[in-house]
Amino acid sequence: MAEIRRERPEDILAIRNVNDRAFGRPDEGAVVDRLRGACEGLVSLVAVVDGRVVGHILFSPARIQADGGDEVTGMGLAPLAVLPEYQRQGIGAQLVAAGLEVLRQTPCHFVVVLGHPAYYSRFGFGQASRLGIRCKWNVPAEAFMVLALDEDAMRDASGMARYRDEWDAAT
């Protein structure tokens, strides 16, 4: 079991390393760095084992531009990264569960994620298209998922989901 805690300033280089190694490219880590400098309201958690940052999860503001014109605000889960040598040990699941618990204590209406359906469905995520929610990027429908944290706010939230523009560089 890893210790899960909020990101600290001294974790920034380790977080970049985790993302770069987990994804095998610098794109996600670069977006995290840009978001950290440009965006308020981030929820950034790290997993620590024996004093070493081995995992990271970030939730950044997202919105659904409803077809009727209204906008619903929530968060986008991206990235979720664990160092390769620590993968398949439940650290990613710990990070997801801890992050969702933090968001449940805030006025967050939803969380969207682009990822593996079998993995994220165990946290309550379901195919976003079933609620009439579309991704701004051309991705497989089954891979774009949503978790409604406020059912009332999400009742008429069909429309286009948008992550922060910083993510456009990584897609």
What are the structural domains of the chain? 3-170 (3.40.630.30)
Give pLDDT, residue 155.
81
Backbone angles phi, psi at 124, to 5 degrees: 100, 0
Give pLDDT, residue 26.
94
Tens digits of pLDDT across the chain (171 residues)? 899 999 999 999 999 999 999 999 999 999 999 999 898 899 999 999 999 999 999 999 999 987 777 889 999 999 999 999 999 999 999 999 999 999 999 999 999 999 999 999 999 999 999 999 999 899 999 999 999 999 888 887 889 998 887 887 665
Do residues 86 and 54 touch, judged by C-beta distance below 8 A?
A: yes
Q: What is the DSSP letter of 142?
A: G
Give pLDDT, residue 170.
60
Give pLDDT, residue 165.
77
pTM value?
0.94
92: left (phi over 0), alpha (psi -120 to 50) or beta: alpha
Give pLDDT, residue 65.
84
Could you tell me which residues come within 8 angstroms of residue 116 by beta carbon, excluding any fewer than 6 positions away?
143
Could you tell me which residues come within 8 angstroms of residue 150 by beta carbon, excluding any fewer than 6 positions away?
107, 108, 109, 110
